[in-house]
Amino acid sequence: MSISSSTAHPHPSGRRHLSRLAAGLGAVALSAAVAVATTSAASASSSGNAAPHQLKARTVHTTPAASSNLINHGGPVQTAPKVYVVYWGWQSDPSGEQTYLNNFLSSVGGTQWLSTVNQYGSGSNSTLSGTWSDSASVPSHPSDSAIQAEAAKAASHFGTGTSVNVQIVVATPTGHSTRGFGTQWCAYHGAVSSNPNITYTDLPYMTDAGTSCGANSVRSNLDGVSIVEGHELAEAITDPLLNAWYDSSGSEIGDKCAWQNLSTISTSKGTFAVQPLWSNSAGGCVL
């Protein structure tokens, strides 16, 4: 479903003294250009190459209309999700986020909380299939293209292939986040442009944003790590290429319940803060 905003995207004029023939040719050329642009946009949309989808920061989040169910737009879902995390350029971990995140992702598969995704044809037995500490330096404010490049690098490192079931989480270290983190968004997900069957998540060092991204919202300073990554995990499972399950306003399974009725779940690796997920069958947010 993140999370800046998701990433995103001539007016010709003639001269009066041109001959009618020239004007006619200009009109034909313009029509052709519009047709090409429209076809290209439609092609990008159908292939899932849309702008990344963000989880808005708590301070700017607006709750979507609760009455609107998710709609199947025909894109693929993840039936056997495999999650890989690359810790890019981490030299310190003052809040202990890495251990907490690994424990959450390695034990959340198969829980009742994540099973909400099953009704959308997705699989809830997600697995943490690998982690990698990439020592390469990371910019102070890595761009989305840099995040995608790191995701592609990690996919190559892990040998993931091109399965739509693959999620690459790019976890950036404390003090290094894409612009807009904490003020506009907390994380986001999208399709890797160079490998468009694979979804990636831009996951900054969550405690850097404090309460704006969930710190101490349920039980500890680390709450935002599992709340935000849990949100992205469920959305990447049900809408990996941004062309599968979302409602009429574009909200995904996590968006419709973001920052509402936060609670905890218990797994074999501990207790973790999470948000509810939208259930079409229940017509509301469920844990």
Residue 83, pLDDT > 60, answer: yes
Q: Which residues sit opposite 56 in a β-bridge? A: 185
Looking up tokens 């702008």 gives 51
Secondary structure, 3-state, 58-121: CCCCCCCCCCCCCEECCCCCCCCCEEEEEEECCCCCCCCHHHHHHHHHHHCCCCCCHHHHHHHC
pLDDT-derived band at 140 (thresholds 50, 70, 90) equals: very high
Every domain of the chain and the residues it spans: 53-286
Q: Give the residue-averaged pLDDT of 8-19.
A: 36
Dist. CA 95–CA 97, nearest whole Å: 6
Residue 204, pLDDT > 90, answer: yes
Q: What percent of the chain has pLDDT over 90?
A: 80
For the chain, give the longest Cα–Cα distance: 79
The pTM of the full predicted model, rounded to 2 decimals, is 0.84
Q: State the pLDDT at residue 49.
A: 53
Residue 176, pLDDT > 70, answer: yes
Range of lowest pLDDT (2-11, 80-89, 169-178, 185-194): 2-11
Range of lowest pLDDT (58-67, 113-122, 229-238): 58-67
The H-or-E segment that residue 134 falls in is strand 127-134
Residue 2, pLDDT > 90, answer: no
